[in-house]
Amino acid sequence: MWRALPFLLLLAACSKGPQADLQYIGDARSLAAEWALINEQAQAGKLNATYVDSMRQWIRQQLETDLGALTQPDAPYAGEIRALSEVADDAPPAQLRAHAESLKQTEDSLESA
């Protein structure tokens, strides 16, 4: 039992930090891409305003959930998610895709680490 203690402590230490946040980074990236698509379709007049409003509200709630779940709330990726959550509802799709791309780069670098 006591021989396993160092291994268990090491395992617990590895489960925290950026690797543990990878799922939230990926979720925020996906939300940014979805938001961009919604805004693009809304600008083209292809979506109902009620649907657009409810989706934007849902996306903001999900981003807040992701932010609250991060183990590293001061990390650069947390700042990126926070910045994404603060953009205007009708932000240009390109702005939202830029946030998605930044999060994708972080996600890729953590997955390859």
**4-8, 16-20, 64-68, 71-75: least confidently modelled range:** 4-8
- Residue 3's pLDDT band (boundaries 50, 70, 90)? low
Q: pLDDT tens-digit profile of 40-62?
A: 999 999 999 999 999 999 999 99
Per-residue exposure over 60-79, b if at least 16 CB sit within 10 Å of its own CB, e if not = bebbeebbeebeeeebebbe
Q: Where are the domains of the chain?
A: 17-112
Average pLDDT over residues 1-22: 61
Single-letter code of the amino acid located at 106: T
76 to 21, 100, 102: CA distances (angstroms): 12, 14, 10
